[in-house]
């Protein structure tokens, strides 16, 4: 073996050993199985994400999709419903089908698909109207996700809750199945976006150096991180900015005695500010920058239900709160749920509940 090749192999080996050390839940055999599966040439591979896809869902799907395409597979991405404008700048020629808009085409793609990757969700119901089709899918289903409490709906499960984002996990999975050389510039941009958005630009969800190690390797591929940041975060409409102003100015109530804050927006208000999907993304984080606030909730009135987002700091587990009271779940510090109550009743229910959590909220350490 030449000196160069030897260096490359030993580089790779030390990288895989490093990755195995950070993967806590997944058996090593799964990666051998996945590699064997993926290395059958020219397969029809589809990647599916959760409903209301965010930067991590889209970034993971495009990032992994590009790698699989570069390896020679025929790759498609299906998202249950549409995704925000600030995630539409990616350079990729992979078709991203919005299932809600083209159901028949979506069904036809799934019919032909041999391997289906489920990215960035832990329960099949997160695929909304695609749920039945995903459950019925007869090829091989592979989960790659970082949400706690995954349910058993895939043949191969890679579920690692200590990862900041699915995109970070996808990067490591790509190394472990020996496809690292197929990460091109487009894939690197997409994976970086997933990590950046799920960590609020590297502000939270990062518990290990691995996140920055992955980012460093993505930067080695020549991505322009400032350009990506601007494409995602400096791309809002004036309406969205005014909606944020309205929300913070008129629709936020702070409860210092419970270290909590709540905000709520009705359909009427959203219409007034010409709401576009994704416009309220990130709103729920703002109250957490108020001194001593550790729990924030945002209620949004949809056509037939109320959607709620939760954010918390430190050891206050907002996913448990979401699960116990608003049929939801998620991460410890970032979760969501829904309710069939009216908007007013939902907000009232939330504020009433704060009393029961006073102890936990006051004891929360950041
Ligand atoms: Mn995620």
Ligand 1 centroid to 43 CA: how many Å? 26
Q: Is the pLDDT of residue 366 over 90?
A: no
- Tokens 């091989």 label which residue? 140
The pLDDT of residue 11 is: 64
Ligand 1 centroid to 161 CA: how many Å? 10
Where are the alpha helices (H) located in 251-317, listed in sequence order?
A: 267-272
The pLDDT of residue 21 is: 77
Q: Residue range 201-218: average pLDDT?
A: 95
Structure tokens at 31: 């990666």
Q: Residue range 190-195: average pLDDT?
A: 98
Q: Is the pLDDT of residue 196 over 70?
A: yes
Over residues 11-63, the pLDDT tens digits come to 666 677 778 778 888 888 999 999 999 999 999 999 999 999 999 999 999 99
The band of 264, judged by pLDDT with boundaries at 50, 70 and 90, is very high
Over residues 76-110, the pLDDT tens digits come to 999 999 999 899 999 999 999 999 999 999 999 99
Q: Is the pLDDT of residue 7 over 70?
A: no
Ligand 1 centroid to 232 CA: how many Å? 16
What does pLDDT average to over the chain? 95
The pLDDT of residue 22 is: 81
Ligand 1 centroid to 365 CA: how many Å? 24
Which residues lie across from 261 on neighbouring strands? 254, 296
Ligand 1 centroid to 198 CA: how many Å? 6
Which residues lie across from 330 on neighbouring strands? 335
In sequence order, the 6+-apart residues with CB closer than 8 A to the CB of 328 are: 308, 310, 319, 322, 335, 336, 337, 338
Report the percentage of the chain scoring pLDDT > 90: 89
The band of 278, judged by pLDDT with boundaries at 50, 70 and 90, is confident
**Could you give the CA distance from residue 262 to residue 252 in angstroms, rounded to a whole number?**
6
The band of 220, judged by pLDDT with boundaries at 50, 70 and 90, is very high
The pLDDT of residue 5 is: 63
Answer for the pair 296, 288: CB distance below 8 angstroms, yes or no: yes
The pLDDT of residue 18 is: 78
Q: Is the pLDDT of residue 326 over 70?
A: yes
How many residues are given for the chain?
A: 366
Which residues lie across from 156 on neighbouring strands? 142
The pLDDT of residue 182 is: 98
The pLDDT of residue 9 is: 60
In 121-162, at which residue ranges do the beta strands (DSSP E only) sit? 140-145, 156-159
In sequence order, the 6+-apart residues with CB closer than 8 A to the CB of 96 are: 58, 61, 62, 77, 78, 79
The pLDDT of residue 334 is: 93
Domains and CATH numbers, the chain: 3-233 (3.90.1640.10), 239-363 (3.10.310.30)
Ligand 1 centroid to 149 CA: how many Å? 14
Ligand 1 centroid to 95 CA: how many Å? 21
**Could you give the CA distance from residue 39 to residue 343 in angstroms, rounded to a whole number?**
50
Q: Is the pLDDT of residue 163 over 90?
A: yes
The pLDDT of residue 12 is: 60
Closest CA to 121 of 360, 331, 263: 331
The pLDDT of residue 19 is: 81
Answer for the pair 260, 361: CB distance below 8 angstroms, yes or no: yes
Listed residues: CB within 5 A of ion ligand 1: 56, 120, 165-166, 198
The pLDDT of residue 286 is: 97
**Could you give the CA distance from residue 233 to residue 55 in angstroms, rounded to a whole number?**
11
Structure tokens at 296: 């924030």
The pLDDT of residue 273 is: 97
Answer for the pair 109, 97: CB distance below 8 angstroms, yes or no: yes
């Amino acid at each position: 073996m030449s000196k160069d090749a030897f260096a490359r192999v030993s580089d790779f080996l030390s990288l895989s050993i490093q990755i195995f050390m950070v993967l806590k839940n997944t058996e090593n055999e799964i990666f051998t199985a996945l590699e064997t599966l993926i290395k059958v040439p020219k397969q029809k591979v589809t990647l599916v994400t959760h409903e209301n896809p965010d930067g991590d869902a889209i970034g993971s799907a495009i990032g992994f999709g590009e790698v699989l395409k570069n390896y020679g597979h025929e790759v498609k991405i299906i998202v249950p419903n549409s995704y925000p404008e600030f995630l539409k700048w990616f350079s990729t020629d992979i078709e991203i089908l919005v299932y809600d808009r083209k159901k028949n085409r979506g069904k036809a793609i799934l019919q032909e698909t041999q391997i289906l990757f489920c990215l960035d969700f832990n329960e099949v119901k997160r695929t909304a109207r695609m749920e039945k089709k995903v459950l019925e899918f007869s090829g091989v289903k592979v989960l790659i996700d970082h949400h706690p409490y995954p349910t058993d709906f895939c043949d191969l499960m890679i579920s690692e809750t200590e990862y900041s984002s699915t995109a970070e996990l996808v990067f490591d999975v790509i190394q472990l199945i020996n496809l690292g050389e197929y990460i091109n510039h487009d894939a690197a941009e997409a994976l970086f976006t997933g990590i950046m958005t799920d960590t609020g630009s590297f502000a939270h969800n990062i518990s290990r150096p691995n996140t920055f190690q992955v980012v460093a390797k993505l930067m080695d591929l020549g991505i322009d991180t400032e350009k990506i940041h601007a494409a995602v975060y400096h791309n809002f409409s004036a309406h969205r900015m005014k909606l944020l102003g309205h929300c913070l100015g008129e629709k936020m109530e702070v409860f210092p005695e419970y270290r909590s804050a709540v905000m709520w927006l009705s359909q009427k208000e959203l219409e007034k500010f010409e709401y576009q999907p994704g416009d309220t993304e990130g709103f729920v984080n703002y109250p957490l920058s108020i001194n001593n606030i550790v729990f924030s909730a945002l209620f949004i009135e949809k056509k037939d239900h109320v959607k709620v987002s939760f954010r918390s700091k430190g050891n206050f587990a907002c996913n448990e709160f979401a699960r116990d009271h608003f049929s939801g779940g998620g991460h410890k510090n970032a979760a969501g749920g829904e309710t069939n109550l009216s908007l007013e009743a939902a907000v009232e229910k939330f504020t009433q509940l704060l009393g029961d959590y006073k102890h936990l909220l006051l004891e929360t350490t950041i």
